[in-house]
Amino acid sequence: MRVKVVSIDVLVTIAVIGAFLIQNYEESAVVTFLFLFGHYLEQRTLNQTRSAIKELTEMAPESAWVQLVDGEFEEMDVDDVDEGDILLVKTGAKVPVDGTVLIGEGHINEASITGESVPVNKAAGSEVFAGTILENGMIQIRADKVGEDTTFGKIIELVEEAQDSKSEAERFIDRFSTYYTPAVLILSFVVWLISRDVELAITILVLGCPGALVIGVPVSIVAGIGNGARHGVLLKGSEVIQDFSKVDTIVFDKTGTLTTGNPTVAETAYYGGDKEEALGYLASVERESDHPLAKAVLEEIGDTTFWNVEETEVVKGGGIMANVNGHRVVVGNAALMEREGIPLNEQAQTDIHRFEQNGNSLVLAAVDGELQVLMGIRDQIRPGVKENLEVLKELGVNHLVVLSGDNQGTVDRVARELNLTEAHGHMLPEDKAAYIEKLQQRGHTVAFVGDGVNDSPSLALADIGIAMGSGTDVAIETSDVVLMNSDFSRLPHALGLTKATARNMIQNILIAVGVVLVLLASVFFSDWMNMSIGMLVHEGSILVVIFNGMRLLRYRLKGRRTQLFSEKEPVKAA
């Protein structure tokens, strides 16, 4: 009354006082007990739905071993650590900050960041994240980010904000309750005026309480976000859940999303001469380059004999030429071979055409004017992507599109292999954004999946931006959904979870409204309904919607085994 809000508490308080005044002490006491006991149970069960936040905060490191001026390490509060400090992390301890390994090696459990419980090896130069656990070894790290600026701190903040945010459905229910609750009060007064039956009037106050309606949607939202956080999927707010559940079109960036982002040699052809010697010359020249294709070639050749390289000449956009062991070696694309007058026989031309049709980038190697080696290099499809795309189709996404800056042949190959609806190459970031806008104008609800860096315009423009990012700042800040371990298999889980959450909200609304209608009808058309029974049913309906919402905490896609957690293991990751 003091804050001028006509709430459920007001209705029940008036009903209890009214029952007391008409000397109906038993019902007054029963209603009071049931209301308070129901409130207690609500808090207990709601706290369980917020378990993701509880687990996250409990995993936050509290102390750190910091190197002093004399080189010794002293334990101090993590809040006293500054950027640039040198920290010691021992076996079994939590990494206190985001940092870089300077000395030592060990395996770190990064489940709190990525949702993946398999330990990751860390050595000098590796990045480590606050809240992760060093399972073996001992390392010294330099503090790069501390406190709330760490990835772990940002995850906690995002999940808290998401759980506290309100969806369109929640805002509607808030507005509905603003008018509904006073309406029940007025209805009760009108009934008293007509019937002069005080007990009937105060019974209507109790039966008309919209408790289950008010609590039903928030508990579904909180449970859904909690489930996502446990599985390395950050859903940034209740609006995201509702929009994501309606997605019918998903647009993918290719490199690093559908593919691994690490090009490897896929096809090779040889044209006479000494194969091992030619590969040795090729590797010797490629060792002089830091181009991604050169790295792929060296990885494919492996152990070989390396020769001294002299008179190296880099041809921009073409390749590299050098003298190796007294031979003139030319390594590059077909255009460079043509420029240097190196003949390509009919078989080589056929192979080049075939390799290009298969979406390869080409590396040709010629020794003393004769073509010796042809390698086709391409980015490989992520393992399991095709199966996960089929699951997305089963979940109602009927339009799957890939957009890439690569050549059209490469993009077409990926689309054919993955059975995508459309494929477009030679796309700059602004072209991708324009294409997404065109899809939206056609009435599609569009999600865009990218790496969160060069695709920021598309992530921002799409109805749902989904970042494949291992906890990167850009991925977390520019997207609506973050797949924390860059694990594509989490995408179907995220979509299925949002659809299940949206269905759960509707179920809870129907349960709440249905119970109120039944109770109000029973008070007029039956003789058995009274305040105590009404309050019991009312509190029961609140618990029903809460427990219905809590089912989302254990949600998993039907027919698919998750490798994140076993049933017997306690959930340690948020």
Q: What are the catalytic residues?
A: 253
Number of other residues whose CB lies within 10 A of the CB of residue 117: 16
Q: Which of 359, 285, 350, 274 is nearest to 320 (CA)?
A: 285
What does DSSP assign to residue 364?
Answer: E
* Coil/strand/helix, residue 75: strand
* Secondary structure element (H or E) that encloses residue 13, with its range: helix 8-21
Angstrom distance (rounded) from CA 86 to CA 67: 5
Across 11-38, b (16+ Cβ under 10 Å) vs e yields: bbebbbebbeeeebeebbebbbebbeeb
Q: Which of 423, 457, 499, 483 is nearest to 114 (CA)?
A: 483
Contact 65, 75 (CB under 8 A): yes
Q: Which of 108, 92, 97, 105 is nearest to 138 (CA)?
A: 105
Which pair of tokens denotes residue 431?
Answer: 């072209």
One-letter amino acid identity for 282? L
The DSSP string of 457-501 is: HHHHHSSEEEEE-SS-HHHHHH-SEEETT--TTHHHHHHHHHHHH
Residue with tokens 């019974």: 203
Contact 41, 211 (CB under 8 A): no
Contacts of 277 (CB under 8 A, 6+ apart): none
Which pair of tokens denotes residue 6?
Answer: 């006509």
SS (H, E, C) 158-225: HHHHHHHCCCHHHHHHHHHHHHHHHHHHHHHHHHHHHHCCHHHHHHHHHHCCCHHHHHHHHHHHHHHH
